[in-house]
Chain A
């Protein structure tokens, strides 16, 4: 069918008459609030308030309600005593591997695969990850996250990134695995490399945060401050060292709206399912491997070998070598292990920061490898340098303050 130009325009007119309606735009309170949340003078305080709400709800739900309220009681008063009573021969290797210390009265200290392993995975990490992803999805679907991206754009440009880098950064606070994948939203190789490296080093995952809130609640704030400062300093350094461009972005900021329940439920399920599939086997395997290494004497040998470095340079006890090995499998597990070692509060802060900035967990490692082996090797080189420089720096700060 051939149309003349006039006929085509007539057709366009008839379609638009049917489908397009015209009216007068009336600015609503939601529109103005939307504008206020991207202006720095009002937007930064709002961002502080949103982050406050985020962590407060996270701590109340995961910490006070689920873990402290129910899981500790369930695992320590029921599961652990039952397992200790039914598992035969407390002196056997199998008992040590699966149930752990026969004299332990709580699941954190038992350190068996079926005691500490299940408690950390189900009792501590799962509620933390669930509430984290729920709030993350809410911020995403309500339209706040793009505003945060606009707000953070100028700050992140100083470290070679742009506003949308806030998405992998926040995702990384849940799990570094999807966060590494999310670095693909950044335009250049330089940006992707900087973000991936900073993610692997300075952003603790939700699992680790959950365990930190559970075992060292009074030092989490200081650990986070050290990590944020490190993120900024090493971001600036990487931006200067790595060649490449840092282009501007155009962000489409949608109006504020209530998230659709079905979408929230779907996202929450997919993200939590992914976490359960990736993390739980690693937690259980992690405890098994660490216990086998302890039994074989490998951890003690490594602890003796690295003692000068750990005690002199980092200022932490040599026993932290074991948790650092466990950190490669699961960082949450490593923090749980650290909590059972006798240390001063400052040593604990240093040790937890070291666990955070030390090698990414093996799941993140695999995803980073998928992004490119050259990038992974370069990230590891940066990581080793950061661990030595920053770990020593934190020890030096502690000495200057008279607390190390």
Chain B
């Protein structure tokens, strides 16, 4: 095994911690601990049980899976699979967030006489701020990259 396991372990660990923290932030904001978090392009509105509470729980589990699988993730397929499962949980939340924006951006607004949104309006639907899962998405894609490049000899 030639790859540098320590760097990937640290990366996965940090990603897992960030995922747990953002998931908990989702839940806490929904529970009323804060009126909402807005930091740069990150926004947690906390006004929706489905996206914040349920989605937050899934993010927390995703982060925990990454943390539990980070040790020997480069050598042991069982461990790496937990990391992948954690990343898949983040992809599910981010994917559904993006799909929701896509669906909301296609039609024109309720008051507009036309049916379809303009191109500028459609693209504007994907503008920041973003929920946590979308911000984590590019970082979790590194795990997809590991999935296609790493080989597990003992398996």
Residues of A within 8 A of B (CB): 26-29, 32-33, 36-37, 42, 45-46, 48-50, 52-53, 55-57, 59-61, 64-65, 68-70, 72-74, 77, 221
Contact = CB atoms under 8 A, between A and B. Distances in A.
B89 A45 contact: yes
Contacts of B100: 56, 59-60, 64
Q: What are the 5 closest A-B residue pairs judged by CB atoms, nearest first?
A: A69-B107, A32-B81, A45-B61, A65-B103, A56-B96
B84 A29 contact: yes
Interface residues of B, number: 35
13 contacts: A32-B77, A36-B81, A36-B82, A42-B65, A45-B65, A49-B89, A52-B50, A56-B100, A57-B99, A59-B50, A68-B110, A69-B115, A72-B110
Given A52-B96, A56-B96, 13 more contacts: A32-B77, A33-B81, A33-B88, A36-B81, A45-B61, A45-B89, A48-B57, A52-B93, A59-B50, A60-B104, A69-B107, A70-B107, A73-B115
B36 interface: no
Contact of B107 (A26, A49, A65): A65
B103 A60 contact: yes
Contacts of A59: 50, 100
Contacts of A74: 115
Contacts of A65: 103-104, 106-107
B52 to A, nearest CB: 12
A69 B81 contact: no
B61 A48 contact: yes
Q: Which of A64, A74, A221 has the most CB of B within 10 A?
A: A64
Nearest to A51: B54
Interface string B75-117: 0011011101100110011011001101110110010010100
B50 A33 contact: no
Main secondary structure of the interface of B (DSSP, over half): helix
Contacts of B50: 52, 55-56, 59, 221
A264 to B, nearest CB: 18
Contacts, number: 96
B95 A53 contact: yes
Nearest to B89: A49
A42 B82 contact: yes
A29 B147 contact: yes
Contact of A64 (B57, B80, B103, B147): B103
Contact of A60 (B55, B65, B99, B110): B99
A117 B108 CA distance: 25
Nearest to A45: B61
A36 B61 CA distance: 13
Given A52-B96, A56-B100, A29 B58 contact: no
B127 interface: no
A64 B58 contact: no
B78 A32 contact: yes
A42 B92 CA distance: 15
B49 interface: yes
B7 interface: no
A56 B99 contact: yes
